[in-house]
Amino acid sequence: MPATLVGMIAGVGIVALLFWRVTPMPVMGAWLGAFAVLWLGRLFMLLRYRRAVAGGRPNWRGWLRIWNAATLTSAFLWGMTAIAFYSRGSGVQQTGLIIVIYSYCIAAVPVLANQARVFLAFGVLCFGPMIVRIASDGDIGSMQLAAELLLIVSLISVLAGSYRQAFQRVTEEKLRADGLLDALRVEKQAADAARHEAEVANRAKTQFFTAASHDLRQPLHAMGLFAEALRQRTHEPEVAQLVNSINESVDALEQLFSQLLDITRIDTGGVDVKPQHFVVGDIFRKLRLHYEPEAFDKGLELRLRGGRHAIHADPLLVERVLRNLVSNAIRYTTDGSVLVTCRRRGERVRLQVWDTGPGIRAEDRKRVFEEFYQVPNATAPAPDERKGLGLGLAIVKRLAGLMGAPLDLRSEPGRGSVFTLELPVGEPPRERADAVASKAPAGVTLAGTTIIIVEDEPAVREGLEVLLRGWGADVLAFDSVAATRAWAGDDAPSAAAGAIKPALLIVDYRLEAGQTGVDAINLLRRRFGAQVPAIVVTGSSMTGHEKEAAEHDFHVLIKPVLPNKLRAMIAFKLAGR
């Protein structure tokens, strides 16, 4: 409506300029007064309409009727303008008047085309009087002009009809689009709700596996210790076989918890890739820390080469990949060595794990990365060991995919396998000297060896005591750092502790009152010397103890610890004194 008011002022102004000198003042004054009243009335309507809309209670049909009435009144006044002024002007003035009225009809097309009857009435009121007035002159020229104006009005009506149809199609499409948008909004809300429920379910599943993995490790650990202690007290073959079965089941459950937790975190998007520049040697030191005792127990050599190279990737994911590959290599290799190398090839770095195991047949190489797939007829590396669960390489494949790192397998049956992971080159590191793997002598006995245990779980502590005493060791067990301090003394060793020289410390990581096994290690080493070796046993499958292990010189075992693994670690630690 504001544009209508401005257009009315412009039209009235043009006509007044054209006919001011040729029209008597009473006629001009009456004409201007009529348009002034109409203009003020429409302005008043505009203000009332805006107030009604702002109040939220407009009567749309009522306002439409009022607006149509004002529009038709305007058309009537323009028709009367032709009657009042056409015969008073010359050709230029008459042409100007026709153009002004024609412009009003054209401008009404987008506004009134959707109301066919109102538009027809508007056209008749605007142009009808003008056509009649021109035709009334009676000459041929006037009749031709009237006919042309009649044709123009007809064409404008056709144009309005076409516009009305187009407007209706646009309106229908908009309504259809609005309907689709509403349906899409409903579907999106349903999808968002379903996704939220799935995320909640995935988080619940992850939390369940995490809690189950941690809480069940404690009784599983104690079960394995008691089973081995039972073996020490009987020599019956049936009992020994039963103990072997118990230990294998405990080990299978521990690996199942860890690997299911890894798979769940990857599949639920719980693993974030955080690339950074790091030296491969940092991971190699952790691998040596965890797997050298296991390789040592099997008579294998674990070699790590190329630790000076730098990589740009997520170090935690790279470490997890290498842990799975090295664990598999040690499990299936009975003789020879396991080699982990890092080599640069252009702008890429190749991490490779070589083994001298039985190898993998060509038809099995594509399927080894599937969940729970185990190579048929693959023999375990030793009589007391079993196959894996078929999840380790599936985890490796998923983690490599998350990092966008190509993973390759080459194998030759009877000679061994090599797994290759390609990663981007990192920033050049400082030169680091690779540690030389030491191989301790076998056959370490625990007879006459004093071992101190700090463990707050009664069943685990008792199981460790029974097992270690069965191996010939002298054992002192405490349930807390406070109890250990009370026995060892604060400033100087107590009378009970003065005559004892422990050969090894075995401590749980998480103890009472927020204290850790590291506190117990530091306390006992202050009393008996910094050279006392230590093993930390923890029920958490999360990595993160490596920095403390390197700083405080201890090795980490994850519960449940099978007796043969514990014995191998003890032999490794005692042989390195």
Measured CA to CA, the distance from residue 116 to residue 418 in angstroms comes to 83
User: 481 or 109, which is more confident?
Assistant: 481
Domains (ranges, CATH) in the chain?
Answer: 2-136 (no CATH), 273-424 (3.30.565.10), 440-575 (3.40.50.2300)
Residue 142, classed as helix, strand or coil, is helix
| Residue 345 main-chain phi, psi, to 5 deg | -130, 95
pLDDT of residue 170: 83
Residue 347 has what DSSP assignment?
T
Assess contact for 522 and 485: CB atoms under 8 A: no
**pLDDT by residue (tens digit) across 327-353?**
888 988 888 899 999 999 888 999 999
The β-bridge partners of 256 are: none
What tokens appear for 526 in the block? 């202050």
Cα angle: 110, vertex 112, 113; to 5 degrees = 70
| Cα–Cα separations (whole angstroms), residue 331 to 327, 396, 519, 563 | 6, 16, 34, 16
Helix then strand then coil, in percent of the chain rounded to 5, is 60, 10, 25
| Cα–Cα separations (whole angstroms), residue 269 to 188, 189, 200, 265, 272 | 21, 22, 12, 6, 7
User: 299 or 444, which is more confident?
Assistant: 299
Residue 490 in this model has a pLDDT that exceeds 70:
no
Beta strands in 440-509 (DSSP E): 450-454, 474-478, 504-508
**pLDDT by residue (tens digit) across 244-276?**
777 666 666 666 666 666 666 676 666 778 898
User: 522 or 232, which is more confident?
Assistant: 522
**pLDDT by residue (tens digit) across 458-468?**
888 888 888 88
User: 489 or 542, which is more confident?
Assistant: 489
pLDDT of residue 435: 37
Cα angle: 390, vertex 391, 397; to 5 degrees = 115
Residue 127 in this model has a pLDDT that exceeds 70:
yes
* pTM of the entire predicted model: 0.44
Measured CA to CA, the distance from residue 266 to residue 396 in angstroms comes to 11
pLDDT of residue 251: 66
What tokens appear for 140 in the block? 């041929």
